[in-house]
Structure 1
Amino acid sequence: MDVAALTAFLAPLLPYLVKAGEKVGDLAAEKAGQEAFGIAQRIWAALRPKVDGKEAAAEAVADVARDPDDEESRTVLKIQLRKLLAEDPDLASRVEQLWRQASGGGTVVTNVTASGAGSVAIGRDATNSTIVTGGPDAGR
């Protein structure tokens, strides 16, 4: 399993996943899409007991939930998730199954932003693709 991609998928949703409440879930579903947030909830439900049981992992989740864009915090979370999954093959199998639903089911698993002239953002696969944004005079 690609733990880095899993971390990237969960990070922007962690502020919503760690808080309870229907309104919070509604906000997250608007942000990520209903299907993606549903998968994130199921992955988090599988991970949470192990995360809560390991201080370093719980701290990493709290840090990312506080600032989902902090790359250093995401790196620490990725390491902690990798350790948790390595320690528990059953958990790893359950999360892998859920992750396949997210990555194989057509769900966008990352937040993508492009800005500026000629910028391109791709939220899923772009294998063997040619992307043309125009020449230096495009848009003039």
Structure 2
Amino acid sequence: MDIALLVKVLAPCLPFLIKVGNKAVEGASQKVGEDVWNKAKAIWAKLDPKVEAKAAAQEAAADVAKHPEDEDLQASLRVQLKKILETDTALAAEITQILQAKTAQPTGDNFQMQGKSYDQSTFKQVGKIEGKGDVNL
């Protein structure tokens, strides 16, 4: 289980996962992308009861939710999640499956250019793509 990857997926979503509401969900999928948001929701649904049961994990998650880009806070969350997942190997296996699941393939409605994803019908930016700016239609 790659705990660092797990925290990288969860960190930008935690402010929305901890304060779930219709506006929060809308903001999350716009900020991190629908695929990452869906993975984070599925993972958090499995992790949340374990995090809630452990005060230190709860505090670490709340801290990352307040400051998702703080590497020190992410390190604290990594330690807590590592402890949880080392004691629950079945949960670790489930989360690994979610992390490794293929994301939905892009439809013909979107295209990618210069590291950004655009909606073809409106030409509005809908996401950011990691990597160089090749055009993928």
Give the shorter-chain TM-score range.
Answer: 0.7 to 0.9
Question: How far off its partner does 1:106 sit?
Answer: 7.2
Structure with the bigger percentage of strand: 2
RMSD between aligned residues: 2.2
Query: What residue is the counterpart of 1:17 in the other structure?
Result: 17
Q: 2:53 & 2:88 partners in 1: Cα distance?
A: 13
Q: SS of the counterpart of 2:12?
A: helix
Identity %: 42
Question: How far off its partner does 1:53 sit?
Answer: 0.3
Question: How far off its partner does 1:105 sit?
Answer: 3.2
Q: 1:35 & 1:71 partners in 2: Cα distance?
A: 23
2:103 to 102, 105, 108: 105
Count, aligned residues: 111
Question: Which amino acid is 1:123 matched to?
Answer: E
Q: SS of the counterpart of 1:12?
A: coil
Q: 1:8 & 1:106 partners in 2: Cα distance?
A: 19
Question: Which amino acid is 1:65 matched to?
Answer: A
Contact 2:35–2:103 (Cα < 8 Å) also in 1: no
Question: Which amino acid is 1:3 matched to?
Answer: I
Question: How far off its partner does 1:14 sit?
Answer: 0.5
Normalising by structure 1, what TM-score?
Answer: 0.73
The structure with more radius of gyration: 1
Normalising by structure 2, what TM-score?
Answer: 0.74
1:61 is the counterpart of 2:68: no
